Structure 1
Amino acid sequence: MVEAPQAEIRSVTAVMFTAMVSREARVPQEEALEGELRAEHARLVRELLPRQGGREVKATEDGFLLAFDGGLPAVRFGVALQDALRCYNQQAPAGRQMALRIGVHVGPVVSLGGDLFGEGVNLAARIEALARPGTLYVSEAVMRQVDGHALPPALRFRRNALKGLRLPVEVFRIEPREAPPRPRLLARVRSLLAPKRARG
């Protein structure tokens, strides 16, 4: 039986890439730790993602490709993820701490076979690659959708300030929160870590 070809679905979507900043994995112990940190990253993403209505498109080598209906839920998720990671790092020993880069763009995409393709995906990936560890970078299209909402401040980059790489969109960095992590979030991260510590 020949399967019918899958239909392409075109839409304008908020696309996010997360990427864990890799360590030097030179010995088996370091490779094992890298795998454990990737699992922690995945747990945090999958714990927080449903709360902002996002969906996991796929896991990548260093993180995730995620999709949202708009820029606001994407940014809220990105801020929450960085907050949760900051809580995690406060509880974890120095050798188990990690940092993420996050990039978001709203643009046209093609959905096919459960994956996403197109300009929106390509630009989100390039924006994530620009981000410094521990930061959230977004495009101007995202900023237009979050303008006026209660979020951390954003810093606008000059086009020629991004490592000599010119993008067809303006890029902003959402500044990390300066306030201490919320107690409920801290307690939730502790509960995520507890089973691993118990097994250890």
Structure 2
Amino acid sequence: MKLFTIILLVFLVGFCNADETPMFLAEVQGGSGTIVSEEDGRFAVTIENYGRYFNTTDGNSTFSMPVEHLSTVLWPSYAAITFADENGESVSLVTVENLSLLEEENTLKLQVTPVSFYEGELLTAFAEDIDGLDSIQNQSFESTKVYFEITRQIPENEQLCCPGNHWLETDRCCQNEGQGNILCYWDRFVPCS
């Protein structure tokens, strides 16, 4: 019986640790924003004049990356959206189902579902004072910020860059010199050795 208990404990501890996925917070700043209710309980959030870069913090370091990299994220993802106008600021917690960038119009469109309960860690500061999207829909806001909780996608092929190619440290991307392709990774910078 003791052996069975020990094996069970080792299995459960290993299983729980393997479930932890690295996450980071990405902040996108934008100009005016609107919220429109859709038929299926979702909302369409449109943000005009978004910044060309998003800021993210990884431990103690902060870096910026082009907003286009968000199109490679696997959705859905949690997010906190702040809407501000002359009357103050409203905060909503949502699940982002889809994201699209209309670069020529400098518009970011999100398809979101409101979150009634948040059990993560990165957005807890926003979870204390939230407003439902129903109460602020069909309004226009002067400025909008989105804080995405993003799961890091650690690529299986991250060593494809080495040797003969080089890493672009600022974008955390690998330039494949033979074909001109650029592969971007959400995990830490891994130098070619």
TM-score of the superposed pair, with normalisation by structure 2: 0.25
Larger proportion of helix: 1
Return the index of the structure with the highest Cα Rg: 2
TM-score of the superposed pair, with normalisation by structure 1: 0.24
